[in-house]
Amino acid sequence: MEKLKEQLIQADLNRLNVEMDNDEDLKILLNTKGKDFPQDSDYLCLIQELTEEYQERTLLDVINLALEWNFYGTKTHSLFSKAGDNLVGFVAYISNEKEVLQIKMFSFDLSRPNPVFIRDLENLINKLFNDGFEKISWSAMPQNKANKIYESAINKFNGTCWTKDNLVYYEIKNEGNFDNLYKR
């Protein structure tokens, strides 16, 4: 069976709206309020990290918030992960000229969130280093189950992590020895 070629494309709300019109499960996922996710949900952790009003916020609010992020001296990049003709995830990152300062991402695939998430994170790290960034950093709440995936990435890419102010911080430096994203 031929693998679907996955790529990161510019986030476009019109494209997302069409996708939600054609995929009721995606529409439900993106419009579920924080209070309706299980307490141990990675999705709830993501919403909590980004807004104090997490009980009433949705993953669609997270996407909209990322599209509006604007911090002095930085640039925000909002992308969809696409496999075949389908959107399978969302990623946003904030960077300056040399570093990625924060990453937030999630899978649209509830049936297989971890494999999609792991693949997307590793592909993103490779892409960012191939784009010339010297360092990639991000943070997560300690109770976020995705921390196991983040720790795996830290180990694979020889990074570091530490806990401070009720967040876990991750950092990977570009040592010039990362695989090209398109080489498999």
> pLDDT truncated to tens, each residue of the chain (184 aa)?
334 456 888 999 999 999 999 999 999 999 999 999 988 888 888 898 888 888 999 999 999 988 888 888 899 999 998 888 888 889 999 999 999 999 998 888 777 656 667 777 888 899 999 999 999 999 999 988 889 989 999 999 999 999 998 899 999 999 875 554 333 2
DSSP E strands, the chain: 6-10, 75-83, 86-95, 99-107, 135-140, 160-164, 167-173
**Helix 147-156 × helix 113-130 angle, to 10°:** 40
In-domain check, residue 178: no
DSSP SS3 for 155? helix
In-domain check, residue 180: no
How many angstroms separate the most distant Cα atoms in the chain?
Answer: 47
Q: What is the DSSP letter of 84?
A: T
In-domain check, residue 1: no
Residue 178: per-residue pLDDT: 53
Instruction: Name the residue range of residue 88's domain.
Output: 6-173
In-domain check, residue 183: no
As beta bridge partners, residue 10 has: 79
Q: How many angstroms separate the first and last alpha carbons of the chain?
A: 17
In-domain check, residue 182: no
Residue 117: per-residue pLDDT: 72
Domain count, the chain: 1
φ/ψ of residue 88, rounded to 5: -120, -5
CA angle 52-71-42, nearest 5°? 40
Question: Residue 90 belongs to a domain with what CATH number?
Answer: 3.40.630.30
DSSP SS3 for 151? helix
Residue 177: per-residue pLDDT: 56
- Is the Cβ–Cβ distance between 120 and 99 less than 8 Å? no
Residue 170: per-residue pLDDT: 96
In-domain check, residue 184: no
Residue 7: per-residue pLDDT: 80
In-domain check, residue 101: yes
In-domain check, residue 122: yes
